[in-house]
Amino acid sequence: MNLPNLLSLTRVLLIPIFVILIMQHRFGWALIAYAVAGVTDGVDGLIARITHQRTELGAYLDPIADKLLLSAGFITLAIIELLPNWLTVIVISRDLIILLGFFIFILTNRRPKIQPLLVSKITTGFQISTILLVLLTVYHPSFKILIPLAIYGTFVFTIISGAHYIYLGTRILNEK
């Protein structure tokens, strides 16, 4: 267990706190918990690269922590009706499809290199921004004007990146 992996684990441990704060409508504190989780996401990768502490555990733990945090945010904000349910279903479905693809790779003894795509990074950026804007809007209403852009940007890029992963996965599976 190195520092980058410990930071990723910290992000996972912040998820229940983040969800509880949203459910209690303590959006200012939820925003702080989300910001701390976001900082750990940036810092863990930076430390891993600078100190050459990249590990196989970190390669799995970091994206899992990200997906858990984003999924928890989308689900919780949809439950309290601050995000549309249809967007949450699309975001979660994409992640489940990617997870299913990895499971299929394991079953077929394929081990593709885990490497995020540019479109996937843009998607994650939109997803993070959407949650951030919703929390900021509750905290300060002037951000409300950006919510539709964030929601539809998240929708478009989630669909595009999901389709791209499906394309890449089927291409890998069809290789001899």
pLDDT computed for residue 109 by the predictor: 86
Q: With contact defined as beta carbons under 8 Å apart, do 143 and 133 qualify?
A: yes
Segment 34-91, tens digit of pLDDT: 999 988 888 888 888 888 888 777 777 888 898 999 999 999 999 999 999 999 999 9
pLDDT of 106 above 80 = yes
Burial of 47 (0-12, 13-18, 19+ CB in 10 A): middle
**Cα-based distances in Å from 21 to 28, 66, 72:** 9, 18, 12
Reported residue count of the chain is: 176
Segment 112-169, tens digit of pLDDT: 776 778 998 899 889 999 999 999 998 788 999 999 999 999 999 999 999 999 999 9
pLDDT of 23 above 70 = yes
d(CA 160, CA 166): 10
CA neighbor of 62 nearest in space, from 74, 51, 49: 49
Tokens found for residue 122: 């843009």
pLDDT of 92 above 90 = yes
**Cα-based distances in Å from 30 to 43, 114, 116, 175:** 20, 31, 27, 46
pLDDT computed for residue 130 by the predictor: 96
pLDDT computed for residue 114 by the predictor: 67
Domains defined for the chain, CATH in brackets: 3-174 (1.20.120.1760)
26-40 as b/e, with b when 16 or more CB fall inside 10 Å?
ebeebbebbeebbeb
Q: What is the pTM of this model?
A: 0.89
